[in-house]
Amino acid sequence: MAHPLTQIDALEAKVADLEDAGDRDGVIEARIHQLALTQLLVDVHDLPIAAACHQHCLLSEAYSMGGYVPQALEHIHYGQQIVESQIYDNGPSQRLGSSLALAEGFAYVAEGKDYPTALSTLQKAATLLKQAYGPEDLQLARAHELLGKVTTVRKEYSAALEHLSTAWEIREHCLGWENDQTLMLWLDMAWVHHLNGEQEEALSLQTSVVDKVIKLNKFPHLAADAVLRLAKWTDTKTALDKLKAVEQIVLQQLGREEQKSVEVKRELALILIKRREHDQALEYLREVQFLERTLFGPQSVQLARTLKALGTVYMLKGGKYFADASDCLNAALNIFDASINTGANIQDLKQKLHSIELHQRRSRAEFSR
Tens-digit pLDDT profile for the chain (369 aa)? Answer: 788 899 999 999 999 999 988 999 999 999 999 999 999 999 998 899 999 999 999 999 999 999 999 999 999 999 999 998 888 778 889 999 999 999 999 999 999 999 999 999 999 999 999 999 999 999 999 999 999 999 999 999 999 999 999 999 999 999 999 999 999 999 999 999 999 999 999 999 999 999 999 999 999 999 999 999 999 999 999 999 999 999 999 999 999 999 999 999 999 999 999 999 999 999 999 999 999 999 999 999 999 999 999 999 999 988 889 999 999 999 999 998 887 766 677 787 778 887 777 776 666 666 555
Q: Could you tell me the pTM of the whole model?
A: 0.87
Per-residue model confidence (pLDDT) at position 61: 96
Which amino acid belongs to residue 94?
Q
Asked: is 276-369 a CATH 1.25.40.10 domain? The reply is yes
Count of beta carbons in the 10 Å neighbourhood of residue 22: 9
Q: Angle at the Cα of 336 (from 331 to 340), degrees rounded to 5?
A: 165
Is the CA virtual torsion 298, 304, 306, 307 positive or negative? positive
Compute the distance between CA of residue 55 and CA of residue 15 in angstroms, rounded to an integer.
Answer: 13
* Cα 124 to Cα 98, 104, 110, 132, 150, distances in angstroms: 8, 11, 18, 12, 14
Question: Quick one: which of 64, 159, 74, 79 has its CA closest to 112?
Answer: 64
Torsion angles phi and psi, residue 219, rounded to 5: 55, 65
Compute the distance between CA of residue 272 and CA of residue 309 in angstroms, rounded to an integer.
Answer: 12
Is the CA virtual torsion 108, 165, 223, 17 positive or negative? negative
Residues of the chain with CATH 1.25.40.10: 1-135, 276-369
* Cα 185 to Cα 10, 49, 76, 226, 253, distances in angstroms: 31, 35, 27, 12, 23
289 in Cβ contact with 299 (< 8 Å):
no
Per-residue model confidence (pLDDT) at position 258: 94
Per-residue model confidence (pLDDT) at position 91: 84
Can you give the C-alpha Rg of the chain in angstroms?
26
Per-residue model confidence (pLDDT) at position 118: 97
Residues in the chain: 369
163 in Cβ contact with 145 (< 8 Å):
yes
* Reported CATH class of domain 1-135: mainly alpha
**342 by DSSP, 3-state: which?**
coil
Compute the distance between CA of residue 19 and CA of residue 61 in angstroms, rounded to an integer.
Answer: 12
Question: Quick one: which of 250, 256, 264, 310 has its CA closest to 286?
Answer: 310
* Cα 307 to Cα 232, 267, 321, distances in angstroms: 21, 14, 14
Q: Angle at the Cα of 42 (from 41 to 43), degrees rounded to 5?
A: 95
Helices (H), the chain: 4-21, 24-45, 49-66, 69-86, 90-111, 115-133, 138-153, 157-175, 180-195, 199-216, 220-233, 236-253, 259-274, 278-296, 301-317, 322-337, 343-368
Per-residue model confidence (pLDDT) at position 365: 60
Q: Angle at the Cα of 14 (from 13 to 17), degrees rounded to 5?
A: 95
